[in-house]
Amino acid sequence: MAKTIKRIAVCTGGGDAPGLNAVIQSVVIASDNLGWQCYGIRDGFNGIMFPERYPDGGVYRLTRDKVRGIGHLGGTILGTTNKGNPLHFPVNMPDGTVREIDRSDELLTYFATHEIDALVSIGGDGSLTIAEALHRKGLRVVGVPKTIDNDLDKTLTTFGFDTAVGFATECLDRLHSTAESHQRVMVVEVMGRYAGWIALHAGIAGNAHAILIPEIGYDLDKVVAKVREREADGHLYSIVVVAEGAKAKDGELGLVAPAEVGHAERLGGIGESVAARLGAVTGKDTRVVVLGHLLRGGSPTSFDRLAALRFGAGAVRGLDAGQSGVMVALGINGVDYVALEEVAGRMRNVPLDCDTLQTGRDLGISFGD
Protein backbone atom coordinates (compact mmCIF):
# COMPACT_ATOMS: atom_id res chain seq x y z
CA MET A 1 0.00 0.00 0.00
CA ALA A 2 1.47 3.37 -1.08
CA LYS A 3 2.43 5.84 1.64
CA THR A 4 -0.12 8.62 2.24
CA ILE A 5 0.78 11.80 0.40
CA LYS A 6 1.28 14.97 2.40
CA ARG A 7 3.58 16.98 0.18
CA ILE A 8 4.05 17.03 -3.54
CA ALA A 9 6.37 19.01 -5.80
CA VAL A 10 5.81 20.31 -9.30
CA CYS A 11 8.44 21.30 -11.85
CA THR A 12 8.58 22.43 -15.47
CA GLY A 13 11.45 21.34 -17.73
CA GLY A 14 12.59 21.79 -21.34
CA GLY A 15 11.41 24.55 -23.68
CA ASP A 16 8.44 26.47 -22.35
CA ALA A 17 5.01 26.09 -23.92
CA PRO A 18 1.74 27.99 -23.52
CA GLY A 19 -0.34 26.25 -20.85
CA LEU A 20 2.41 25.50 -18.31
CA ASN A 21 0.97 27.96 -15.82
CA ALA A 22 -2.50 26.47 -16.20
CA VAL A 23 -1.12 23.01 -15.32
CA ILE A 24 0.67 24.44 -12.28
CA GLN A 25 -2.51 26.22 -11.17
CA SER A 26 -4.56 23.07 -11.56
CA VAL A 27 -2.04 20.92 -9.67
CA VAL A 28 -1.89 23.41 -6.80
CA ILE A 29 -5.66 23.80 -6.41
CA ALA A 30 -6.49 20.11 -6.85
CA SER A 31 -3.80 19.03 -4.39
CA ASP A 32 -4.83 21.70 -1.88
CA ASN A 33 -8.37 20.32 -2.06
CA LEU A 34 -6.97 16.98 -0.92
CA GLY A 35 -5.17 18.63 1.98
CA TRP A 36 -1.70 18.20 0.42
CA GLN A 37 1.00 20.85 0.41
CA CYS A 38 2.40 21.69 -3.00
CA TYR A 39 5.95 22.94 -3.59
CA GLY A 40 7.33 24.45 -6.78
CA ILE A 41 10.86 23.64 -7.92
CA ARG A 42 12.53 26.43 -9.88
CA ASP A 43 14.10 25.97 -13.32
CA GLY A 44 13.48 22.29 -13.93
CA PHE A 45 15.39 20.44 -11.20
CA ASN A 46 17.92 23.22 -10.65
CA GLY A 47 15.96 24.66 -7.73
CA ILE A 48 16.27 21.45 -5.72
CA MET A 49 19.82 20.64 -6.85
CA PHE A 50 21.34 24.10 -6.43
CA PRO A 51 19.44 25.86 -3.60
CA GLU A 52 22.33 28.29 -3.11
CA ARG A 53 21.51 29.91 -6.45
CA TYR A 54 18.07 31.03 -5.27
CA PRO A 55 17.15 33.62 -2.63
CA ASP A 56 14.13 31.48 -1.66
CA GLY A 57 16.09 28.22 -1.65
CA GLY A 58 14.87 27.08 -5.07
CA VAL A 59 11.92 25.08 -3.69
CA TYR A 60 9.01 27.11 -2.41
CA ARG A 61 5.47 26.59 -1.18
CA LEU A 62 2.82 27.09 -3.83
CA THR A 63 -0.40 28.17 -2.22
CA ARG A 64 -3.64 29.04 -3.98
CA ASP A 65 -2.68 32.70 -3.68
CA LYS A 66 0.52 32.10 -5.62
CA VAL A 67 -1.34 30.66 -8.61
CA ARG A 68 -4.40 32.88 -8.67
CA GLY A 69 -4.90 34.44 -12.12
CA ILE A 70 -1.96 32.72 -13.86
CA GLY A 71 -3.86 30.19 -15.99
CA HIS A 72 -4.04 32.40 -19.06
CA LEU A 73 -0.41 33.52 -18.94
CA GLY A 74 2.31 32.16 -21.23
CA GLY A 75 5.64 30.91 -19.87
CA THR A 76 6.02 29.27 -16.48
CA ILE A 77 6.12 30.94 -13.07
CA LEU A 78 8.58 28.22 -12.01
CA GLY A 79 11.10 28.91 -14.75
CA THR A 80 12.53 26.15 -16.90
CA THR A 81 15.74 24.96 -18.50
CA ASN A 82 16.76 22.63 -21.27
CA LYS A 83 20.31 22.33 -19.98
CA GLY A 84 21.84 20.27 -17.19
CA ASN A 85 19.74 17.09 -17.45
CA PRO A 86 20.46 15.34 -14.10
CA LEU A 87 20.80 11.99 -15.91
CA HIS A 88 23.50 13.43 -18.18
CA PHE A 89 24.89 16.20 -16.07
CA PRO A 90 27.88 18.02 -17.60
CA VAL A 91 30.97 18.10 -15.40
CA ASN A 92 34.24 19.89 -16.19
CA MET A 93 37.13 17.47 -15.83
CA PRO A 94 40.62 18.48 -14.64
CA ASP A 95 42.00 17.76 -18.15
CA GLY A 96 39.68 20.43 -19.61
CA THR A 97 37.20 17.98 -21.13
CA VAL A 98 33.50 17.85 -20.17
CA ARG A 99 31.89 14.57 -19.11
CA GLU A 100 28.29 13.62 -18.44
CA ILE A 101 27.40 11.96 -15.14
CA ASP A 102 24.14 10.57 -13.75
CA ARG A 103 23.10 12.57 -10.66
CA SER A 104 19.66 11.00 -10.22
CA ASP A 105 20.55 9.19 -6.96
CA GLU A 106 21.71 12.46 -5.48
CA LEU A 107 18.53 14.16 -6.76
CA LEU A 108 16.42 11.59 -4.92
CA THR A 109 18.12 12.44 -1.63
CA TYR A 110 17.07 16.09 -2.10
CA PHE A 111 13.44 15.03 -2.50
CA ALA A 112 13.78 13.04 0.74
CA THR A 113 15.32 16.03 2.54
CA HIS A 114 12.36 18.18 1.51
CA GLU A 115 9.99 15.35 2.56
CA ILE A 116 8.41 15.39 -0.88
CA ASP A 117 6.22 12.30 -1.30
CA ALA A 118 5.46 12.69 -5.00
CA LEU A 119 6.35 14.76 -8.06
CA VAL A 120 4.36 16.16 -10.97
CA SER A 121 6.90 16.62 -13.76
CA ILE A 122 5.65 18.76 -16.63
CA GLY A 123 7.75 18.45 -19.74
CA GLY A 124 8.58 16.93 -23.08
CA ASP A 125 10.59 13.86 -23.90
CA GLY A 126 13.66 14.91 -21.89
CA SER A 127 11.73 15.70 -18.69
CA LEU A 128 9.57 12.59 -19.01
CA THR A 129 12.68 10.43 -19.41
CA ILE A 130 14.05 11.93 -16.18
CA ALA A 131 10.65 11.37 -14.53
CA GLU A 132 10.71 7.73 -15.58
CA ALA A 133 14.20 7.23 -14.16
CA LEU A 134 13.16 8.80 -10.84
CA HIS A 135 10.08 6.58 -10.71
CA ARG A 136 12.23 3.48 -11.31
CA LYS A 137 14.39 4.56 -8.38
CA GLY A 138 11.39 4.82 -6.06
CA LEU A 139 9.96 8.35 -6.31
CA ARG A 140 6.23 8.61 -6.99
CA VAL A 141 5.94 10.55 -10.23
CA VAL A 142 3.26 11.52 -12.71
CA GLY A 143 4.30 13.23 -15.94
CA VAL A 144 2.36 15.84 -17.91
CA PRO A 145 2.95 16.04 -21.68
CA LYS A 146 4.13 19.48 -22.72
CA THR A 147 5.54 20.64 -26.03
CA ILE A 148 4.55 22.88 -28.88
CA ASP A 149 6.07 20.21 -31.16
CA ASN A 150 3.31 17.63 -30.42
CA ASP A 151 5.88 14.87 -30.84
CA LEU A 152 5.05 12.79 -27.74
CA ASP A 153 3.60 9.35 -28.19
CA LYS A 154 0.48 7.88 -26.53
CA THR A 155 -1.45 11.12 -26.26
CA LEU A 156 -3.73 12.64 -28.87
CA THR A 157 -2.06 15.97 -28.27
CA THR A 158 0.33 17.82 -26.00
CA PHE A 159 -0.65 21.18 -24.54
CA GLY A 160 1.02 24.13 -26.27
CA PHE A 161 0.64 22.70 -29.76
CA ASP A 162 -2.74 24.25 -30.48
CA THR A 163 -1.49 27.71 -29.48
CA ALA A 164 1.61 27.37 -31.68
CA VAL A 165 -0.45 26.20 -34.66
CA GLY A 166 -3.00 28.98 -34.16
CA PHE A 167 -0.32 31.66 -34.12
CA ALA A 168 1.53 30.21 -37.13
CA THR A 169 -1.75 30.06 -39.04
CA GLU A 170 -2.46 33.71 -38.25
CA CYS A 171 1.01 34.61 -39.52
CA LEU A 172 0.38 32.71 -42.75
CA ASP A 173 -2.94 34.52 -43.18
CA ARG A 174 -1.07 37.82 -42.91
CA LEU A 175 1.66 36.75 -45.32
CA HIS A 176 -0.73 35.89 -48.16
CA SER A 177 -1.63 39.51 -48.85
CA THR A 178 1.91 40.88 -48.80
CA ALA A 179 3.21 37.94 -50.84
CA GLU A 180 0.47 38.51 -53.41
CA SER A 181 0.98 42.29 -53.54
CA HIS A 182 4.69 41.82 -54.27
CA GLN A 183 4.34 38.64 -56.31
CA ARG A 184 6.85 36.97 -54.02
CA VAL A 185 7.60 33.55 -52.69
CA MET A 186 7.42 33.67 -48.91
CA VAL A 187 9.18 30.88 -47.06
CA VAL A 188 8.03 30.46 -43.46
CA GLU A 189 10.18 28.36 -41.11
CA VAL A 190 8.45 26.92 -38.06
CA MET A 191 9.74 24.98 -35.04
CA GLY A 192 8.95 21.33 -34.35
CA ARG A 193 12.35 19.66 -34.04
CA TYR A 194 12.32 16.33 -35.88
CA ALA A 195 8.53 16.24 -36.36
CA GLY A 196 6.42 18.13 -38.86
CA TRP A 197 3.22 18.58 -36.85
CA ILE A 198 3.31 22.37 -36.57
CA ALA A 199 4.25 22.84 -40.23
CA LEU A 200 1.60 20.37 -41.41
CA HIS A 201 -1.29 21.68 -39.33
CA ALA A 202 -0.54 25.39 -39.74
CA GLY A 203 0.40 24.96 -43.38
CA ILE A 204 -2.90 23.32 -44.28
CA ALA A 205 -5.01 25.62 -42.08
CA GLY A 206 -3.15 28.66 -43.45
CA ASN A 207 -3.47 27.67 -47.13
CA ALA A 208 0.23 27.16 -47.85
CA HIS A 209 1.09 25.99 -51.33
CA ALA A 210 3.99 23.79 -50.29
CA ILE A 211 4.83 22.24 -46.91
CA LEU A 212 8.18 20.61 -46.18
CA ILE A 213 8.32 18.32 -43.16
CA PRO A 214 11.06 16.10 -41.69
CA GLU A 215 9.02 12.96 -42.41
CA ILE A 216 9.26 13.52 -46.19
CA GLY A 217 12.68 14.13 -47.76
CA TYR A 218 11.97 16.87 -50.26
CA ASP A 219 13.06 17.47 -53.81
CA LEU A 220 13.26 21.21 -54.37
CA ASP A 221 12.42 20.78 -58.05
CA LYS A 222 8.94 19.66 -56.94
CA VAL A 223 8.46 22.90 -55.02
CA VAL A 224 9.75 24.88 -58.02
CA ALA A 225 7.22 23.02 -60.16
CA LYS A 226 4.44 24.04 -57.74
CA VAL A 227 5.47 27.71 -57.90
CA ARG A 228 5.55 27.56 -61.71
CA GLU A 229 2.22 25.73 -61.90
CA ARG A 230 0.66 28.54 -59.85
CA GLU A 231 2.25 31.14 -62.11
CA ALA A 232 0.84 29.39 -65.15
CA ASP A 233 -2.59 29.68 -63.50
CA GLY A 234 -2.06 33.40 -62.95
CA HIS A 235 -1.18 33.20 -59.25
CA LEU A 236 2.10 35.04 -59.06
CA TYR A 237 2.89 34.36 -55.42
CA SER A 238 3.43 31.29 -53.29
CA ILE A 239 3.68 30.43 -49.61
CA VAL A 240 6.04 27.66 -48.57
CA VAL A 241 6.05 26.38 -44.97
CA VAL A 242 9.25 24.64 -43.89
CA ALA A 243 9.61 22.72 -40.64
CA GLU A 244 12.96 23.45 -39.01
CA GLY A 245 13.79 19.73 -39.18
CA ALA A 246 12.95 19.30 -42.88
CA LYS A 247 15.71 17.90 -45.08
CA ALA A 248 16.17 17.48 -48.79
CA LYS A 249 16.31 13.86 -49.92
CA ASP A 250 19.94 12.95 -49.12
CA GLY A 251 20.34 16.45 -47.68
CA GLU A 252 21.56 17.77 -44.36
CA LEU A 253 19.65 19.00 -41.33
CA GLY A 254 19.77 22.78 -40.88
CA LEU A 255 21.68 23.42 -37.64
CA VAL A 256 22.28 26.64 -35.73
CA ALA A 257 24.51 24.84 -33.21
CA PRO A 258 25.63 21.22 -32.93
CA ALA A 259 24.91 19.11 -29.85
CA GLU A 260 27.29 19.64 -26.97
CA VAL A 261 27.60 18.01 -23.58
CA GLY A 262 24.50 18.95 -21.62
CA HIS A 263 22.59 20.46 -24.56
CA ALA A 264 20.89 19.01 -27.63
CA GLU A 265 21.63 20.31 -31.12
CA ARG A 266 19.76 23.48 -32.15
CA LEU A 267 17.87 23.33 -35.40
CA GLY A 268 17.32 26.23 -37.78
CA GLY A 269 18.37 27.78 -41.05
CA ILE A 270 16.62 25.46 -43.49
CA GLY A 271 14.12 28.20 -44.41
CA GLU A 272 16.96 30.46 -45.49
CA SER A 273 18.54 27.81 -47.69
CA VAL A 274 15.20 26.76 -49.25
CA ALA A 275 14.41 30.43 -50.01
CA ALA A 276 17.84 31.08 -51.53
CA ARG A 277 17.58 28.09 -53.82
CA LEU A 278 13.94 28.75 -54.76
CA GLY A 279 14.79 32.35 -55.59
CA ALA A 280 17.79 31.33 -57.67
CA VAL A 281 15.91 28.69 -59.67
CA THR A 282 12.57 30.49 -60.17
CA GLY A 283 14.04 33.99 -60.50
CA LYS A 284 11.32 35.21 -58.15
CA ASP A 285 11.73 37.66 -55.35
CA THR A 286 11.84 35.47 -52.24
CA ARG A 287 11.68 36.30 -48.53
CA VAL A 288 12.04 34.22 -45.38
CA VAL A 289 10.15 34.56 -42.10
CA VAL A 290 11.39 32.49 -39.17
CA LEU A 291 8.65 32.22 -36.55
CA GLY A 292 10.97 30.56 -34.03
CA HIS A 293 10.30 31.31 -30.38
CA LEU A 294 7.25 33.44 -31.17
CA LEU A 295 5.48 30.08 -31.39
CA ARG A 296 6.29 29.40 -27.75
CA GLY A 297 5.05 32.69 -26.37
CA GLY A 298 1.68 34.24 -25.64
CA SER A 299 -1.45 33.08 -23.91
CA PRO A 300 -2.59 29.50 -24.38
CA THR A 301 -5.67 29.02 -26.54
CA SER A 302 -8.77 27.84 -24.71
CA PHE A 303 -8.09 24.33 -26.04
CA ASP A 304 -4.58 24.29 -24.55
CA ARG A 305 -5.77 25.93 -21.35
CA LEU A 306 -8.48 23.34 -20.85
CA ALA A 307 -6.11 20.47 -21.74
CA ALA A 308 -3.56 21.88 -19.28
CA LEU A 309 -6.13 22.21 -16.48
CA ARG A 310 -7.41 18.69 -17.17
CA PHE A 311 -3.86 17.31 -17.19
CA GLY A 312 -2.97 19.04 -13.91
CA ALA A 313 -6.06 17.84 -12.08
CA GLY A 314 -5.66 14.42 -13.71
CA ALA A 315 -2.08 14.16 -12.45
CA VAL A 316 -3.23 14.84 -8.88
CA ARG A 317 -6.11 12.34 -9.18
CA GLY A 318 -3.62 9.79 -10.50
CA LEU A 319 -1.27 10.28 -7.55
CA ASP A 320 -4.20 10.10 -5.15
CA ALA A 321 -5.23 6.80 -6.71
CA GLY A 322 -1.71 5.40 -6.17
CA GLN A 323 -0.43 5.86 -9.71
CA SER A 324 3.27 6.38 -10.38
CA GLY A 325 5.51 6.07 -13.42
CA VAL A 326 2.68 7.26 -15.65
CA MET A 327 1.96 10.23 -17.85
CA VAL A 328 -1.47 11.82 -18.10
CA ALA A 329 -2.55 11.64 -21.72
CA LEU A 330 -5.44 12.78 -23.81
CA GLY A 331 -7.24 9.70 -25.08
CA ILE A 332 -10.39 9.39 -27.16
CA ASN A 333 -12.48 9.07 -23.99
CA GLY A 334 -10.73 11.73 -21.94
CA VAL A 335 -7.69 11.97 -19.71
CA ASP A 336 -5.92 8.66 -19.42
CA TYR A 337 -2.73 7.31 -17.80
CA VAL A 338 0.00 5.71 -19.88
CA ALA A 339 3.25 4.16 -18.64
CA LEU A 340 6.14 6.63 -18.84
CA GLU A 341 8.34 3.86 -20.22
CA GLU A 342 6.05 3.71 -23.25
CA VAL A 343 6.59 7.43 -23.87
CA ALA A 344 10.15 8.23 -22.78
CA GLY A 345 12.59 8.29 -25.67
CA ARG A 346 9.91 7.63 -28.28
CA MET A 347 9.18 10.41 -30.67
CA ARG A 348 5.86 10.59 -32.51
CA ASN A 349 6.27 11.65 -36.10
CA VAL A 350 3.58 12.54 -38.61
CA PRO A 351 2.38 9.18 -40.00
CA LEU A 352 2.67 9.22 -43.77
CA ASP A 353 -0.78 7.69 -44.10
CA CYS A 354 -2.59 10.13 -41.77
CA ASP A 355 -5.66 11.84 -43.13
CA THR A 356 -4.32 15.34 -42.40
CA LEU A 357 -1.39 14.77 -44.75
CA GLN A 358 -3.74 13.20 -47.29
CA THR A 359 -6.03 16.22 -46.95
CA GLY A 360 -3.10 18.46 -47.86
CA ARG A 361 -2.44 16.36 -50.93
CA ASP A 362 -6.15 16.38 -51.86
CA LEU A 363 -6.04 20.17 -51.68
CA GLY A 364 -3.13 20.27 -54.11
CA ILE A 365 -0.44 21.23 -51.59
CA SER A 366 3.05 20.09 -52.57
CA PHE A 367 5.05 18.16 -49.97
CA GLY A 368 8.13 18.26 -52.12
CA ASP A 369 7.83 14.59 -53.11
Which residues make beta-bridge pairs with 66?
none
Q: Provide the phi-psi class of 344: left if phi over 0, else alpha when psi is between -120 and 50, else beta.
A: beta
d(CA 339, CA 153): 11
The verdict on 165 binding ligand F6P (CB under 6 A) reads: no
Nearer to ligand F6P, 72 or 266 (CB): 266
At its nearest, how many Å lie between ligand F6P and the CB of residue 95?
A: 28
User: Which residue is catalytic, options 125, 149, 151, 304?
Assistant: 149
Under DSSP, the state recorded for 342 is G
- What SS3 state is found at 316? helix
CB of 14 vs ligand F6P, minimal distance in Å:
6
Over the window 95 to 134, marking each residue x when it contacts ligand F6P by CB under 6 A and - when it does not, the resulting string is -----------------------------x----------
Question: Under the criterion CB under 6 A, does residue 44 sit at the interface with ligand F6P?
Answer: no
State the sign of the Cα–Cα–Cα–Cα dihedral 297, 152, 43, 82. negative
The piece of 50-58, 94-102, 142-150, 344-352 that touches ligand F6P (CB under 6 A) is 142-150
Looking at residues 331 to 350 of the shown chain, list those that interact with ligand F6P (rule: CB under 6 A): none
Evaluate whether 161 touches 202 at the Cβ level (below 8 Å). no
Residue 12 CA neighbour count, 13 Å, CB half: 25
Nearest to 131 by CA among 308, 315, 314: 315
Residues 15-34 touching ligand F6P, rule: CB under 6 A, are 15
**Residue 43 contacts ligand F6P per CB under 6 A:** no
Residue 56 known to be catalytic: no
What is the SS3 assignment for 48? Answer: helix
Residues 278-317 that bind ligand F6P (CB under 6 A): 296
Of 184 and 193, the one with the shorter C-beta distance to ligand F6P is: 193
Please work out the total of residues on this chain that contact ligand F6P, with binding judged by CB under 6 A. 13
The residue from 5, 191, 240, 329 that contacts ligand F6P (CB under 6 A) is 191
Query: Of residues 193, 201, 284, 305, which one binds ligand F6P by CB under 6 A?
Result: 193
Give the integer Cα–Cα distance in Å for 288 and 291: 10
Shortest CB 169 distance to ligand F6P, Å = 16
Residue among 315, 187, 320 nearest 254 (CA): 187
- The rounded distance, in Å, linking the Cα atoms of 2 and 121 is 19
Active-site amino acid positions? 149
